[in-house]
Amino acid sequence: MELSKRQEQIIEIVKGNGPITGEHIADQLNLTRATLRPDLAILTMSGFLDARPRVGYFFTGKNGSELLTEQIRKYKVHEFQQVPIAVKESVSVYDAISTMFLEDVGTLFVVDENSCLTGVLSRKDLLRASIGQKDLSSVPVHIIMTRMPNITVCRREDLLIDAAYKLITKQIDGLPVVKDTDAGLEIVGRITKTTMTRLLVELTTDEQI
């Protein structure tokens, strides 16, 4: 988060004089309390300053990168998950490749007749299956997919950073977000390396992309 010049000045004043009332900060800047109100609200909401009633503002001691780390550690999977793309186990390798292009994804999830997760197909899985294979329409994906129980999953309420850790340590591009049902794991979303890259860009530009 980018601070304005005035917000930087407020932090310096509070660092040197805190606890200090809004009134006194305003005096030092030759501004009115009302003019400062939005800046003080931003600085307390983002964690740089803390306010105690009848005492005033004081500096929390946290710098920008500590606050950013705290913020990232709070993100949950469901705040960032994207729509999952799934195919049935009986679908051919040919049709799975077409789906990957049409849906513009790099990982497909495979489901059984109850729409529960049974497998994962990556780009390389499909490439490997295509090499030297003449009739891709006759090979069903369940023959080549990575299958349960070897699938790494995450859940809506998991921390996003834990999902990121799984992507890195397992060296995979995507994770299905699953929900437990009596029939098995229902796929409700996906988290991919693109999810993480997008978050990085959003954090540094304050923009939703």
Of 10, 26, 86, 125, the residue at the interface with ligand ADP (CB under 6 A) is 125
Number of residues that bind ligand ADP (CB under 6 A): 15
196 near ligand ADP, rule: CB under 6 A: no
Q: Which two tokens stand for residue 20?
A: 């200090």
Of 23-31, 66-74, 116-124, 155-163, the window that binds ligand ADP (rule: CB under 6 A) is 116-124
CA dist 201 to 4, 36, 176, Å?
20, 30, 23
Cβ(130)–Cβ(113) under 8 Å? no
Q: Would you say the C-alpha torsion 157, 67, 48, 18 has a positive or negative sign?
A: positive
Among 82, 92, 122, 130, binds ligand ADP (CB under 6 A): 122
Sequence-ordered alpha helix ranges (H) in 55-140 = 64-74, 93-103, 123-130
CB of 30 to ligand ADP, least distance (A): 58
User: For residues 44 and 32, what is the distance between their CA atoms, to the nearest angstrom?
Assistant: 18
Candidate ranges 90-98, 117-125, 131-139, 157-165; the one touching ligand ADP (CB under 6 A) = 117-125
Residue ranges binding ligand ADP (CB under 6 A)? 107, 120, 122-125, 146, 150-152, 171-175
